[in-house]
Structure 1
């Protein structure tokens, strides 16, 4: 029986577009899951403070969460685990990007996103849908950083993949992943670290086993999560690698397929069995 659900947000529980906000139906499904005694946790590269808007102010829906790709873990609204990025690694990336004309480092502190060692006029000339960078720092600050990205300004997604591969080859202590297909930015995390770290922390804290965990995803930064748990689920719009690694499959994000699956899990929990979409 499933007792913990970990779900990616963008293009999984939520779909791409101008709004990245959970629908009333999705919130209803999450509450049904919780009322059935199943824990629900967003598993996302975003930071915790983003979730209030994404869940339409419904704090119950995201009180337990894996954020910053597993670097920050919350249980019932309390921060219970945190793993910062190594400053020397971020500084190394900053120096490496000095020779890359179409990319720069972005770090986040106190909810504010700041570019590092990039001309402000260049940053403002290349806005994107996720960040509102209005400040440039000369170097990475000394305080712990739990959220970092590389912004690639080229409109060609293959260019983002080139930058990713070049950085990955140079910095063995870090992971560089593309969190959304076709979007020119990279997530940075410590090597060997991902959403599954946060999932395992919650699983162990709740006294569960891996087969009692279900996870949903669509993109490259979900691969570690979906390959880690036996009951992994890909949405129909997932990248091919995610579809291949997932054990189970549901419809596309824009049909609220994950919300429907959550209701299925909630019903099954009430009956003490596995949900219908997981039955051979």
Structure 2
């Protein structure tokens, strides 16, 4: 047995389109943990949103670890202990606000159980009309998500605040997210790539509509490397599954880096292996193949 650790991204990787873990994948991950293989979940989500799935996977019984908010912290499930790695503080938030307010974009500020959403006038009017057409209740979140202008994230962020001025944004957050339609986000990316501001933070697209920002050096990959160093895990003793740009940092240097069929093109290009998509038990199929090859 070569592989000692399995690392899974969540949305678009471990979770199917209905946000559930596919049954064969769930059972296989539990079986492999029972054999002594450690499971790590790595996500842009906060640990609060990760815990229900971690418990389904019985990670509390097998020393599982959560890498949350793109590497902002580590959470040891069985010990219920969290180690904070980095935050965005007020001065950095002000700097980011000033730059991204030049664009017509939604700004999100994610804390552990709270999310603030800043909406410029044009996006506020658009969302107000959508909410009216959909007859949504007043307490429905204003946040945008990977599939559209409105996304209900109250399962992980029970505290939701919509703000209309940048002065109302919080003094700290785990990450900031820039949200707009995919074509507009391509325009934002092109401007950012050619601006000196680009090198001051970590930027990754979690999907085509959302650019996520953390402090310099805060990535899923760096958080994973901390775990590997602490536990003495070698780069050929770990398999990493992902689908988005925020997973590329985890792929780096890993022999068994696996992109889902539904992955963003850049993530696919950085992976050494590909598997079926998240709705077709892609993780299960790759793990089963590795078992046959004697790697698990």
Distance 2:258 2:236 in 1: 13
| Partner in structure 2 of residue 274 of structure 1 | 295
TM-score w.r.t. length of structure 1: 0.81
In 1, Cα distance between equivalents of 2:67 and 2:228: 12
| Cα distance in 2 between the residues matched to 1:243 and 1:177 | 15
Task: Using the TM superposition, give the Cα deviation of residue 262 of structure 1 relative to its aligned residue in structure 2, in angstroms.
Answer: 3.5
Aligned equivalents of 2:179, 2:98: Cα separation in 1: 15
CA distance in 2, matches of 1:65, 1:110: 14
3-state SS of 1:211 partner: coil
- The answer to whether the aligner puts 1:84 opposite 2:84 as a matched pair is no
Aligned to 2:72: 71
By how many angstroms is 1:23 displaced? 2.9
Residue 269 of structure 2 is matched in structure 1 by 244
In structure 2, distance between residues paired with 1:219 and 1:9: 10
- Asked whether 1:58 is paired with 2:56, we answer yes
Cα distance between partner residues in 2 of 1:82 and 1:192: 10
The corresponding residue for 2:167 is: 138
Partners of 1:85 and 1:146 within 8 A in 2: yes
Asked if the contact 2:110–2:176 (Cα under 8 Å) also holds between the matched residues in 1, the reply is yes
Alignment of 1:187-266 (within 5 A): 187-263=212-288
Alpha-carbon contact 2:71-2:218 (below 8 Å) kept: yes
Q: Which residue of 2 aligns with 1:105?
A: 107
Question: Larger deviation: 67-76 or 83-92?
Answer: 83-92
Q: Secondary structure at the match of 1:12?
A: coil
Structure 1 residue 139: deviation in Å? 4.1
| Cα deviation, residue 99, structure 1 | 2.6
In structure 2, stretches of 5+ residues that fail to align are 129-143, 155-159
Q: Is this contact kept in 2: 1:203–1:213, CA < 8 A? A: no
Preserved contact between residue 4 and residue 38 of structure 1 (Cα < 8 Å) = yes
The alignment's TM-score, normalised by the length of structure 2, stands at 0.77
